[in-house]
């Protein structure tokens, strides 16, 4: 059994340190201080490199009592190709109080990026306490992963906070044990967008994935794309599946097109084979993935495969944490396996995974506005999926907390049917700029349901 933890509490930038370059090729490392590392063989399905961190020396002239003396990281070094990076540690319940920053080198260049900050999670995502996934013994603490594109060089530094923010010489808050840098190669795409016209379509926000869109009306997930249905077709299908009581008013939005796990190239050998379901889907929690906005829509399947591998292989979850994902062009993706019409238990909002679904918009929206296409996709997806379970997107519902830093275990909480992650947990997720768009998403979702 695997489990996981994911999303975002903002981090601040720290002053740049001068880090030494890695030893030249062929040099023998000092085995007394060289970090342990492990890596999977790279193949079409992707791979993960895991590098243990070491203490970094304090900058010259600084007091040994400062935070710099407690920093950990790795100097610039050449590695196998990767596109997504994150940091994990041993104890999923331990909080990382500090900043995590990385520098990367693009493949085929000598150019290193500036220092980029990773958002620290501090347990705001993941399976609920007491569940088999959470108690599996494989779950680790983790930062949000960052999409950096094809790279073959990396450096990382983790700087802890001080016990007294007003005193720069105060002792540092201890960092979690077992800090490791995770470098994820998402592998190859299962299919390619047509070269002709793809860039123009993406610029117009209208990229559609290639795939067999034949609909057998069963909702089977053996195709790359589950095609869109009209409202009448959606209602008829719901009646066939006995989802509606005889004569009931079908407040269900039209089913949007959904790129299946096969469509975005999920390696089904990574996840656990079994599924876990809850009784209903009473609410949707909206997230941002905090992986950054430096991706194209044609790269979105690769970003999703990177997140999936990071959640399972690096963080120890049973599958990707989110039930659905949305990219900047408004494409909708199936997330955690188990069936898009079913109440699949996710690992997206610690304390409120039961009877809810998690939707992650790929990107970071703390200070950047989410594209209108992504907000529209949230409305379309929630109008359909919440409608299958009789939920009004403009309404409120009562959920029972499984325990979070905002609501103690067992507390009954009244929340919006479409809520942001921060409504159930003290966090910046889904980013201030996306959070303020949820009101319009609720209105549009209800209209699509015919309310």
Task: Locate the domains of the chain by residue range.
Answer: 37-185, 204-449
pLDDT > 90: percent of the chain: 66
Helices of type H across 287-329 = 300-309
Whether the model clears a pTM of 0.75, i.e. scores above it, the answer is: yes
Provide the token pair at 373. Answer: 């296409």
Packing angle, helices 372-388 and 438-449, rounded to 10: 50
pLDDT value, residue 75? 96
User: Are residues 330 and 376 in contact, defined by beta-carbon separation less than 8 angstroms?
Assistant: yes
Cα within 13 Å of Cα(93), Cβ side: 8
pLDDT of 207 higher than 70: no
Nearest-angstrom CA–CA distance, 177 and 193: 43
pLDDT of 5 higher than 70: no
Strand partners, 334: 324
User: Are residues 61 and 51 in contact, defined by beta-carbon separation less than 8 angstroms?
Assistant: no
pLDDT value, residue 265? 96
User: Are residues 329 and 206 in contact, defined by beta-carbon separation less than 8 angstroms?
Assistant: yes
In terms of Cα–Cα distance, which of 159, 183, 262 is closest to 220? 262
Number of Cβ atoms within 10 Å of the Cβ of 281: 23
Three-state SS letters, 188-236: CCCCCCCCCCHHHHHHCCCCCCCCCCCCCCCCCCCCCEECCCCHHHHHH
Provide the token pair at 3. Answer: 């489990």
Residue labelled with tokens 């909480």: 413
Nearest-angstrom CA–CA distance, 319 and 101: 26
pLDDT of 63 higher than 60: no
pLDDT of 200 higher than 60: no
Fold classified for 204-449: Lysozyme-like (3.40.80)
Provide the token pair at 249. Answer: 């008013």
pLDDT band at 426 (very low <50, low <70, confident <90, very high): confident
Nearest-angstrom CA–CA distance, 244 and 267: 35
Q: What is the pLDDT of residues 145-179, one digit of tens each?
A: 999 999 999 999 999 998 777 676 778 889 999 99
Burial (CB count within 10 angstroms: exposed 0-12, middle 13-18, buried 19+), residue 232? exposed
pLDDT value, residue 241? 83
Instruction: Please indicate whether residue 215 or residue 302 has the higher confidence score (pLDDT).
Output: 302
User: Are residues 53 and 181 in contact, defined by beta-carbon separation less than 8 angstroms?
Assistant: yes
CA dihedral 61, 67, 70, 74 (to 10 degrees): -80
Burial (CB count within 10 angstroms: exposed 0-12, middle 13-18, buried 19+), residue 218? exposed
Number of Cβ atoms within 10 Å of the Cβ of 92: 24
pLDDT of 204 higher than 60: no
Residue labelled with tokens 């720290």: 14
Q: What is the mean pLDDT of residues 54-59?
A: 83
Q: What is the pLDDT of residues 85-114, one digit of tens each?
A: 999 999 988 889 999 999 999 999 999 999
Number of Cβ atoms within 10 Å of the Cβ of 108: 8
Rg (alpha carbons) of the chain, rounded to whole number: 22
Nearest-angstrom CA–CA distance, 58 and 61: 8
Nearest-angstrom CA–CA distance, 26 and 21: 14
pLDDT band at 391 (very low <50, low <70, confident <90, very high): very high
Query: What is the chain's length?
Result: 451
Q: What is the mean pLDDT of residues 222-251?
A: 83
pLDDT value, residue 93? 85
pLDDT band at 404 (very low <50, low <70, confident <90, very high): confident
Residue labelled with tokens 């059994």: 1
User: Are residues 71 and 56 in contact, defined by beta-carbon separation less than 8 angstroms?
Assistant: yes
H or E element that contains 392 = none
Q: What is the mean pLDDT of residues 305-333?
A: 97
Q: What is the mean pLDDT of residues 421-430?
A: 90
Mean pLDDT estimate for the chain: 83
């Amino acid at each position: 059994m695997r489990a996981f933890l994911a999303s975002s509490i903002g981090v601040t930038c720290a002053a740049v340190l001068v880090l030494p370059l890695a030893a030249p090729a062929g040099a023998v490392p000092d085995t007394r201080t060289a970090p342990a590392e492990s890596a999977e063989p790279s193949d079409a399905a992707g791979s993960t490199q895991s590098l243990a961190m070491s203490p970094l020396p304090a900058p010259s002239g600084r007091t040994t009592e400062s935070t710099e003396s407690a920093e950990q990281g790795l100097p610039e070094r050449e590695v196998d190709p990767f596109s997504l990076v994150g940091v994990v540690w041993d104890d999923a319940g331990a909080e990382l109080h500090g900043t995590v920053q990385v520098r990367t080198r693009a493949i085929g260049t000598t150019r290193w990026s500036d220092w980029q900050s990773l958002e620290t999670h501090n347990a705001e995502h993941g399976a609920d306490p007491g569940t088999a996934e959470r108690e599996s013994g494989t779950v680790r603490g983790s930062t949000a992963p960052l999409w950096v594109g094809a790279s073959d060089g990396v450096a990382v530094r983790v700087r802890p906070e001080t016990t007294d923010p007003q005193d720069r010489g105060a002792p540092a808050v201890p960092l979690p044990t077992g800090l490791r840098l995770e470098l994820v190669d998402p592998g190859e795409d299962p299919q390619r967008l047509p070269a002709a016209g793809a860039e123009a379509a993406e610029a117009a926000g209208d990229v559609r994935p290639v795939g067999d869109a034949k609909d057998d009306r069963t909702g089977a997930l053996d195709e790359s794309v589950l095609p869109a249905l009209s409202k009448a077709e959606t209602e008829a299908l719901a009646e066939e599946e006995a989802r509606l009581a005889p004569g009931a008013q079908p407040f269900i939005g039209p089913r949007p097109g959904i790129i299946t796990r096969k469509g975005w190239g999920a390696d089904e050998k990574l996840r656990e084979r079994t599924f876990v379901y809850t009784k209903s889907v009473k609410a949707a929690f909206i997230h941002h993935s905090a992986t950054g906005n430096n991706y194209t829509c044609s790269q979105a399947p690769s970003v999703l495969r990177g997140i999936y591998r990071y959640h399972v292989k690096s963080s120890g979850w049973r599958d990707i944490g989110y039930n659905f994902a949305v990219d900047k062009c408004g494409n909708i993706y199936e997330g955690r396996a188990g069936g898009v019409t079913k109440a699949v238990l996710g690992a997206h909002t610690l304390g409120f995974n039961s009877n809810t679904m998690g939707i992650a918009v790929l990107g970071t929206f703390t200070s950047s506005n989410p594209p209108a296409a992504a907000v529209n996709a949230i409305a379309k997806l929630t109008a359909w999926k919440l409608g299958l379970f009789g939920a009004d997107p403009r309404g409120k519902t009562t959920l029972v907390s499984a325990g979070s830093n905002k609501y103690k275990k067992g507390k009954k909480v009244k929340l919006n049917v479409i809520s942001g992650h921060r409504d159930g947990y003290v966090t910046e997720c889904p980013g201030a700029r996306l959070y303020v768009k949820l009101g319009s998403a609720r209105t549009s979702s209800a209209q699509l349901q015919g309310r």
